[in-house]
A and B are shown apart, each in its own frame.
Chain A
């Protein structure tokens, strides 16, 4: 059965594209991503130990030439508008304590260099993993005495984009030895392979078994998350990781978990690990 599905997908891709661009029609492109002819991005690398695939490939390779070009030029990348907005937020005082992010962490980006490449991390105080969005909210409440951002608030997305962008080009590495990260990784792995929804799909169905093939006109990637938040052409805006998780689960026609819930935090730990060694691409440009 699986084989038949694969053939149908490939045939469909052939019809859609008229077989005009070989690199596009079959599997990932073999292009190289160098942003502004300066910053080399690791978009293909050997998979970490225990990974089911041999090679880890960035979603950038699965996009068309035009979409790939948008990410290779930091001026043309519309996601950079949100990086600039995020920098403004970083330097703007908010909350009763009269502080900005920069009041404690400085405004030169030094503090942030590499930071976004190593999240999610173990949060001892709350006994669960923490990602950038939750870290921002924790800081806002405890140190700035400001209200935490609601999920997907424009400022939350812009600030997260700015923070992740400060690690552009640096390889993603999650430390699974911290606290109970490994058991969250286990839980994330279980979720990744669990079929859900009326369509009975797991993450692995599309992103492991059929990556490189087409689901209707969509070229399926490995589903790596090294470019989030991502500028998505469909929304013409930044899309956060948990928004994308929820969108994917919704598309299987299942009930989707809340953002930052235990399920989605476990999935973030596991899926981030799956992309180990790829460069942070934030803000990546996707379809």
Chain B
């Protein structure tokens, strides 16, 4: 997938128009992102901490941005991370991926590469086997190439 500069600008304009009318949520996520978080947590507001996102401060190209997530958990049969939801709140659709762990995962860590349409927040929400939820947010600046390249 290639996101052209024009599309990126269009998205920015759209998001700006949207924010003018939408009520602002604590971390300024879009309503769609907030709904996705609530659907994942069963309505609960996640606590900061325990989960941490590893993203570059600046992505050279929005088509391939490395993202890593680590959850502080013993990963035993009694206490483990069930899943981690990754969202990107400035994309046409915020859903990125959901990792599902088990006690056999050994460590609650995963990495992948994602597409970001523009500079925006990447969000990770972790759900533990006891139902508690945690969240981390990182901003990634997406640069736009030089000449049409």
Contacts and interface: CB of A to CB of B under 8 A. Distances in A.
Interface of A: 16-17, 20, 63-67, 69-70, 199, 214-218, 220, 233-236, 247-248, 250-252, 287
Contact of B2 (A16, A64, A218, A234): A234
A57 to B, nearest CB: 17
Contacts, number: 63
A161 B113 CA distance: 23
Given A233-B61, A236-B64, A217 B144 contact: yes
Interface residues of B, number: 20
Given A233-B63, A234-B2, A234-B63, A64 B58 contact: yes
A236 B147 contact: no
The B contact surface, by secondary structure, is loop
B34 to A, nearest CB: 28
Given A65-B56, A66-B59, A233 B144 contact: no
Nearest to B141: A16
Contacts of A218: 143, 145-147, 149
Contact of A287 (B56, B57, B145, B147): B145
Contacts of B143: 16, 217-218
Contact of A217 (B2, B56, B64, B145): B145
Given A64-B58, A65-B56, A235 B147 contact: no
Interface string B45-64: 00000000000111111011
A64 B57 CA distance: 10
A254 to B, nearest CB: 12
A20 B139 CA distance: 15
A251 B148 contact: yes
Given A66-B66, A217-B143, A287 B1 contact: no
Interface of B: 1-2, 56-61, 63-66, 141, 143-149
Most chain-B CB neighbours within 10 Å: which of A16, A220, A233, A250? Answer: A233
A233 B60 contact: yes
25 contacts: A17-B58, A64-B56, A64-B59, A65-B56, A66-B56, A66-B59, A66-B66, A67-B60, A69-B66, A70-B66, A199-B147, A216-B145, A216-B146, A217-B146, A218-B143, A218-B145, A218-B147, A220-B146, A235-B2, A236-B1, A236-B2, A236-B64, A247-B148, A248-B147, A251-B149
Contact of B147 (A67, A69, A252): A252
Closest 10 CB pairs of A and B: A218-B146, A251-B147, A217-B143, A215-B146, A233-B61, A287-B60, A233-B64, A287-B61, A216-B146, A64-B60
Contacts of B61: 233-234, 287
B148 A250 contact: yes
A214 B146 CA distance: 8
A16 B146 CA distance: 13
A207 to B, nearest CB: 12
Contacts of B145: 216-218, 234, 287
Contact of A66 (B60, B63, B147, B148): B60
Contacts of A234: 2, 61, 63, 145, 149
A63 B1 CA distance: 21
A247 B66 contact: no
A22 B145 CA distance: 20
Contacts of A20: 57
Contacts of B58: 16-17, 64
Of listed A216, A220, A251, A287, residue having the most chain B CB within 10 A: A287
